[in-house]
Amino acid sequence: MEDTIFDKILRKEIPSDIVYEDDVVLAFRDINPQAPTHVLVIPKEHHPDAAALAAEAPQIAADVLREAQAVADEEKLESYRIVFNTGSGAGQTVWHAHTHVLGGRGLEWPPG
């Protein structure tokens, strides 16, 4: 199993700005925020990307989405974007499934 920076964050080997944690998911602020709110929600169980997470653990995928909504509620975001970059061509750089919760500014469509 690949050991990514998010696995190290999960084990508290490197610090992160955690906004929520339970037995299934961890939510923490992105170190390089692209919007006033930029929170990453990750499953504690290791899956390399969103596609693998959905196929191998659909209940945990649902828990990640539920937490993304909870982050948006907590941050009082009227509009927000949930992004799963899947594959290097789409900008994925960390091979532990995660979603970005982005909000607090206008978001253009289509994205770059």
Answer for the pair 32, 23: CB distance below 8 angstroms, yes or no: no
Stretch near ligand AMP under the rule CB under 6 A, chosen from 18-26, 29-37, 54-62, 74-82? 29-37
Other beta carbons within 10 angstroms of residue 18's beta carbon come to: 13
Q: What single DSSP character describes residue 28?
A: E
Which residues in 32-61 contact ligand AMP (CB under 6 A)? Answer: 32, 40
Smallest separation, CB 40 to ligand AMP (Å) = 6
Which of 4, 7, 20, 30 forms a contact with ligand AMP (CB under 6 A)?
Answer: 30
